[in-house]
Chain A
Amino acid sequence: QVQLVESGGGVVQPGRSLRLSCAASGFTFSSYGMHWVRQAPGKGLEWVAVISYDGSNKYYADSVKGRFTISRDNSKNTLYLQMNSLRAEDTAVYYCAKDSEKVAAAGTQGYFDYWGQGTLVTVSS
């Protein structure tokens, strides 16, 4: 069965960096787009970024553009989110989610058919 397991969360000071990982199993990882979605405490879902099946296309939310970088290693079945210049408002549970499609280009996304359990990132001094 499909499994997505996030790791790398923790407490970090404002301005510092953190890298999240998402280990995937139970499906052909290299055939699907992958997303990061976050949820601040007590708030709703906020999409963060998506990467195409082969890593060639990446799209970001305005709130993280220029600070966060999504990447993937298909040989390791792992998705990453490099988060730089962290702010207090980045505090959230970060979920990785599988897209139902390859996401070969903008507009070819499907839907989020599987989600991980999330990893908590707290940005605080």
Chain B
Amino acid sequence: SYVLTQPPSVSVAPGKTARITCGGNNIGSKSVHWYQQKPGQAPVLVIYYDSDRPSGIPERFSGSNSGNTATLTISRVEAGDEADYYCQVWDSSSDQEVFGGGTKLTVL
């Protein structure tokens, strides 16, 4: 089955840029979606179809996808961005949705 690999944790100072990667075999050929989950809350969609942003999500959130890596970029990081972030794709070979293991973003 298809595997998505995320770093367990990323740390960044306020005002700096955080980059969270999601690795997968030829992931650039798939559509990648990203979710933010804060403690005790349900996940929230922050990026869909690699780089589109839902209404209400700040422009500071952006995404890219090429080759074997998709990336969620958060610019001018704020304390409120501290959360777990998950990437997700549809695996056509198994007809299953797949989530990455998640990345805990810590704002220093």
B92 touches A112 (CB 8 A): no
A–B pairs, 23, beta carbons within 8 Å? A37-B43, A44-B86, A45-B86, A47-B96, A47-B97, A47-B99, A59-B95, A106-B92, A106-B95, A107-B90, A109-B90, A109-B97, A110-B48, A111-B31, A111-B33, A111-B49, A112-B33, A112-B35, A112-B88, A113-B45, A113-B48, A115-B43, A118-B42
Interface residues as binary, B78-108 with A (CB distance below 8 Å gives 1, 0 otherwise):
0000001010101010111111111000000
A112, chain B: closest CB distance, angstroms: 6
B48 touches A100 (CB 8 A): yes
A61 touches B42 (CB 8 A): no
A112-B43, A113-B45 in contact; A107/B92 too (CB < 8 A)?
yes
Q: For residue B15, which residues in chain A have a CB less than 8 angstroms away from its CB?
A: none
A109 CA to B92 CA in the complex, in Å?
10
Size of the chain A interface, CB-CB below 8 angstroms = 24
Q: For residue A60, which residues in chain B have a CB less than 8 angstroms away from its CB?
A: 96
Size of the chain B interface, CB-CB below 8 angstroms = 27
Q: For residue B41, which residues in chain A have a CB less than 8 angstroms away from its CB?
A: 117
Residues of A within 8 A of B (CB): 35, 37, 44-47, 50, 59-62, 95, 100, 106-107, 109-113, 115-118
A45-B86, A100-B48, A112-B33 in contact; A61/B43 too (CB < 8 A)?
no
Interface residues as binary, B8-37 with A (CB distance below 8 Å gives 1, 0 otherwise):
000000000000000000000001010101
Closest to B86 in A: A45
A60 CA to B88 CA in the complex, in Å?
16
Q: For residue B37, which residues in chain A have a CB less than 8 angstroms away from its CB?
A: 45
What are the nearest 8 A-B pairs in CB distance? A47-B97, A111-B33, A44-B102, A115-B42, A111-B48, A45-B99, A106-B95, A59-B95
Does B58 lie at the interface of the complex (its beta carbon under 8 Å from any beta carbon of A)?
Answer: no
Closest to A107 in B: B92
B48 touches A45 (CB 8 A): no
B100, chain A: closest CB distance, angstroms: 8
A100-B48, A111-B48 in contact; A62/B35 too (CB < 8 A)?
no
